[in-house]
Structure 1
Amino acid sequence: MKKLLEIKSHQTQLQTRYKQLVEQAYNLRQTDHALSDISEYKAIKLLNKLNRLKYLNRETSRPKTMA
């Protein structure tokens, strides 16, 4: 159970950082294309991590069925 809470906490932190990076990339789009691209790349990498955490969380919270 403690591991689930750690995963959720980490997931929340990553989501916050992802939103910041996407907003930063959007705001820089008109002024500095290179920095915008870097922020967008970092956001995509974070999104990949978030998707993996979502998958792990789904696997651990799924009730085990008897076969």
Structure 2
Amino acid sequence: MSRIDSIKQKQIKLNTRYKELVEQAYNFRQTDSALSDLSEFRAIKLLNKLNRLKYLSREMKSQIAS
């Protein structure tokens, strides 16, 4: 069960960072478009990691249930 808990903690941490980057990208949109694009790119990369962790978590839960 600790593996699922560690995945969940990682998801929470990445989700918090994702929200920060999206907000940062929004705030930079009017003043510095290059920084806005960079923050948005980093947020998209984090979202990809979050989706992979979500899939992994779902797989782990289904293995435990079986």
Structure 2 gap ranges (5+) = none
Structure 1 gap ranges (5+) = none
> What TM-score comes out, normalization by structure 1 length?
0.93
Q: Which amino acid aligns with 2:23?
A: E
Alpha-carbon distance in 2 for matches of 1:49, 1:39: 15
Question: Per-residue deviation at 1:59?
Answer: 0.5
Question: Per-residue deviation at 1:51?
Answer: 0.1
Alpha-carbon distance in 2 for matches of 1:58, 1:7: 10
- How many correspondences in the alignment? 64
Alpha-carbon distance in 2 for matches of 1:25, 1:58: 30
Q: Which has the larger radius of gyration?
A: 1
Alpha-carbon distance in 2 for matches of 1:8, 1:18: 15
Look up the match of 1:19.
19
Find the residue that maps to 1:31 and give its secondary structure: coil
Matched residues, percent identical?
A: 66
Q: Which string of whole-angstrom CA distances, capped at 9 and with x for unpartnered residues, describes residues 7-63 of structure 1?
A: 000000000000000000000000000000000000000000000000000001112
RMSD (Å) for aligned C-alpha atoms: 0.5
